[in-house]
Structure 1
Amino acid sequence: MRANLTERPAPPRTGGRDVLIVAQDTVETDLLTTTLGLAGYRVTGTAATGAEGIERLTRGRFDLVVWDATLPDLRDVARGRRIAPEERPPLLYLITCEYLHTLLPVLGRGRDDYVTRPVRTTEVLARAQLLLRGPHPSGDRGAAEYADLVLDDATCQARRGTRPLGLTPAEYRLLRHLLANAERVLSKEQISRYVWGEFRASDAIEKLVSRLRHKVDREEPALIHTHRGFGYWLGHARG
């Protein structure tokens, strides 16, 4: 389906899912609480420390947890040392790009995901919606897909059809961001802050997009496109 860039996306149908937010930054917690509430979720618990978050998980029932990955006790809750993996809800981690490598070892296949800081509310809603859909019908629970393009966050690998893409970390983050926002144009600033956590010059972004396009679009149809003067988007070409 082609997105109309002049229309605002409709909020997801959440069915009133209960969310726990575990984050030290009260401003970030307030932003997430407001954003999720407006989208139809119920933020029924908050915590400012990892220990408090684990305590709330053991005492209450939640459908999703938004967890600050810089807090201690991360590996305990992710690996089920205090809560059995099958008994805990999916985790959506908050982390900065430079610390992403510390998070990858605890990501579970399909049950967990992450967004990078600075937090973008549209991405939080998109990732939350995907986590709450449950396992992918194909059984590949760690994968995100568009057409024949597949990204696996559990291994940080991507392929188009059966061909591995062999992406660098920056290329993988860029492709992941484009895929999470498929059919939507992302500005250079949005891309820069997601990939590197800071704004970088236009030529650095253009070179990164060019390298990624060379790896992804060897087959037809091309999936990565330029909207001149606005940015880049992933999807099928618009007629």
Structure 2
Amino acid sequence: MPKAQLLLVEDDSALAELVRWHFEREEFDVRHTGDGEEALLMARERAPDLVLLDWMLENLSGIEVCRQLRKTDNTANVPIIMLTARGEEDDRIRGLEIGADDYVTKPFSPRELVARAKAVLRRVRPALAGESLRFGDVEMDTVAHKVRRGGKQVPLGPTEYRLLKHFLEYPGHVFSRERLLDSVWGHDSDIEIRTVDVHIRRLRKALNEGFDSDIIRTVRSAGYSLDQDAV
């Protein structure tokens, strides 16, 4: 599997080295610059698979770099995660409106940043984020479209597969029925909200057959989550 190409644009050299180390440990190919103009040149010479972009850069701001990347054909669709000390809502919204895909406020955990980066890659370029998703004893091969629990293959229908994939990408997160309907069935879906419950029951039945623990937790008045404590 080819390494994901990461362009890190960060002018804090100590932080950049820390981030580089964590991403290279996860088999990313990392190029780094602390200069916005140079970042644009590097991206034009070889389009990365993902950009980690500091908001506060000298000469050319991260926001302007993001804007320019979005206007250039070979980088228009490259996912961008903004790194910034700015935590105000207006700033986050501005970054997302300019074209950033995600937003991480400093100080941050490098491990969390790697996880966020992989989540973005899974959404846009799943092959680069790895061939499998795991949670406890559940493993999903996203290339072969196969699911196993405890080494035993679990037969799933297409909708149950998409539901489980969504949960595996965001373990521990509680999703409302409305959110699941939007994420799994799509914005324009005419599916009724109770249909979510039907497919959750089917997914549970398939995953739990032959096992004592139920890894899908029902959160009263909130929705469902993939529960770490239940594994």
TM-score w.r.t. length of structure 1: 0.50
Q: 1:109 to 1:54 in 2, by over 3 A?
A: closer
Q: 1:111 to 1:25 in 2, by over 3 A?
A: closer
2:38 alignment counterpart: 52
Structure 1 unaligned segments of length 5 or more: list them. 1-13, 139-143, 150-157, 164-215, 224-233
2:5 and 2:29 in contact (8 A); partners too: yes
Q: 1:237 to 1:33 in 2, by over 3 A?
A: closer
1:15 and 1:40 in contact (8 A); partners too: no
What's the C-alpha RMSD, in Å, of the aligned pairs?
3.9
Amino acid at match of 2:113: V
Can you list the C-alpha shifts for 1:89-131, whole angstroms capped at 9, x where unaligned? 2112112353453132232699711222112121111111112
Kindly name which structure, 1 or 2, has the bigger radius of gyration based on alpha carbons.
Answer: 2
Within the candidate set 207, 229, 235, 2:227 is matched to 235
Q: Are residue 125 (structure 1) and residue 114 (structure 2) matched?
A: yes
Q: Are residue 69 (structure 1) and residue 55 (structure 2) matched?
A: yes
After TM superposition, the structure 1 = structure 2 runs for residues 71-90 of structure 1, keeping only pairs within 5 Å, are 71=57, 72-80=60-68, 82-84=71-73, 87-90=76-79
After TM superposition, the structure 1 = structure 2 runs for residues 86-235 of structure 1, keeping only pairs within 5 Å, are 87-96=76-85, 98-99=87-88, 101-107=90-96, 112-135=101-124, 146=167, 160-162=176-178, 217-219=220-222, 235=227
Structure 2 unaligned segments of length 5 or more: list them. 127-157, 160-164, 180-218
- How far did 1:70 drift? 2.1
Q: 1:146 to 1:111 in 2, by over 3 A?
A: farther
2:6 alignment counterpart: 19
Determine the C-alpha separation between the residues in 2 that align with 1:92 and 1:56. 17
Q: 1:91 to 1:36 in 2, by over 3 A?
A: same
- How far did 1:218 drift? 1.8
Amino acid at match of 1:123: E
- How far did 1:26 drift? 0.1
**Structure with greater helix percent:** 2
TM-score w.r.t. length of structure 2: 0.51
| SS of match in other structure, 2:24 | helix
1:66 and 1:91 in contact (8 A); partners too: yes
2:24 alignment counterpart: 37
Determine the C-alpha separation between the residues in 2 that align with 1:95 and 1:236. 30
Among the aligned pairs, what percent are the same residue?
24
